[in-house]
Amino acid sequence: MVPPWVWQDLIRRALIEDVGAGDLTTNAIFSPESTGALLFCARQPLVSCGMAAVRETYQQLDDRVVVSVVHNDGTMVAPGDVLARISGPSRALLTGERVALNIVQRLSAIATVTRQVVRDLDGLPTLLLDTRKTTPGWRTLERWATSVGGAKNHRFNLHDAVLIKDNHIAGAGGIQAAIHAVKESVGPTVHIEIEVDRLDQIEEALAAGPAGILFDNMDVDTLRTAVFMVGGRAFTEASGGIRPDMVRAIAETGVNALSLGWLTHSAQAVDIGADWEVDDGQ
């Protein structure tokens, strides 16, 4: 569940950006008394995500708007399905439409892509993870979208788990030195994982006792060997260069998890339309 202030802050910035000093077109045409209703309709199959943003957008514009969510976050929706019905003052309905859609189309895209990958993993114990390759300012929301899609969240940021990468290893003077330095420094609740890209690094890493090993950019065969070498002595994760068509093969190596940057950095907006339902009272 996303805390309310995350929606509030992002949407306030979004409205200031998109509405500016007022919606010239809508204010010129509609009186303050005019009312109506908008239907947000899926124009393609998708997994809904971000319906709280619809509520919050209209709450900030005019608290007389009523938002009825038909398909809560995480629902598989067919083309033509109504996601939400929004009714109230016409001015607010039209002024807020683009902000609400921009958010829902983006988050639903991420949830939809994620769900597709999760289906590819059907029947396997492999976890699907997101990454820190999120849109700056959107991390909490985009992680919500991946979790709605069926992924688990990787670390939130640089402070809540350790991931030792090649540059850290170089700086520390070796794999073991790096792991030991981290163990000296961080508290007992912090997950420690190290990234390796060659098989000969695995035993060296395991000797220092990390909680996890990330295999970076390995082909399926190498990865299978790597997982075998670890033999359950650490959590294993595959990342880097994993295209959609490789997901199942990667998972079948037995690796515990795979993490995919493109869930968040390259999901393409899903198509959702806003259809007007004229209100008699208008």
Which residue in the list 18, 85, 132, 133 is annotated as catalytic? 133
Which residues, 6 or more positions from 2, have their beta carbon under 8 angstroms from its beta carbon?
52, 140, 141, 144
Catalytic residue list contains 152: no
Which residue in the list 81, 130, 193, 195 is annotated as catalytic? 195
Report whether 103 contacts 11 (CB < 8 A).
Answer: yes
Catalytic residue list contains 248: no
How far apart are CB 169 and its own copies at their closest, in Å?
9
Q: Output 8 or 68, the one with its CB closest to its own copies.
A: 8
Count of CB atoms situated within 10 Å of the CB of 28: 7
How far apart, in whole angstroms, are the C-alpha atoms of residue 97 and residue 40?
9
Catalytic residue list contains 237: no
Q: Output 125 or 221, the one with its CB closest to its own copies.
A: 125
Q: Output 221 or 266, the one with its CB closest to its own copies.
A: 266
Which residue in the list 132, 155, 165, 233 is annotated as catalytic? 165
Report whether 110 contacts 76 (CB < 8 A).
Answer: no
How far apart are CB 162 and its own copies at their closest, in Å?
5
How far apart are CB 215 and its own copies at their closest, in Å?
15
How far apart are CB 19 and its own copies at their closest, in Å?
5
Catalytic residue list contains 183: no
Catalytic residue list contains 221: no
Which residue in the list 216, 252, 271, 279 is annotated as catalytic? 216
How far apart are CB 203 and its own copies at their closest, in Å?
21
Report whether 51 contacts 69 (CB < 8 A).
Answer: yes
Q: Output 2 or 221, the one with its CB closest to its own copies.
A: 2
Count of CB atoms situated within 10 Å of the CB of 212: 20
Report whether 157 contacts 139 (CB < 8 A).
Answer: yes
Half-sphere exposure of 78 (CA within 13 A, CB side): 0
Q: Output 3 or 221, the one with its CB closest to its own copies.
A: 3
For 94-139, give the DSSP string. Answer: HHHHHHHHHHHHHHHHHHHHHHHHHHHTTT--PEEE--S-S-TT-H
Which residue in the list 85, 98, 155, 248 is annotated as catalytic? 98
Give catalytic residues, as residue numbers. 98, 133, 165, 195, 216
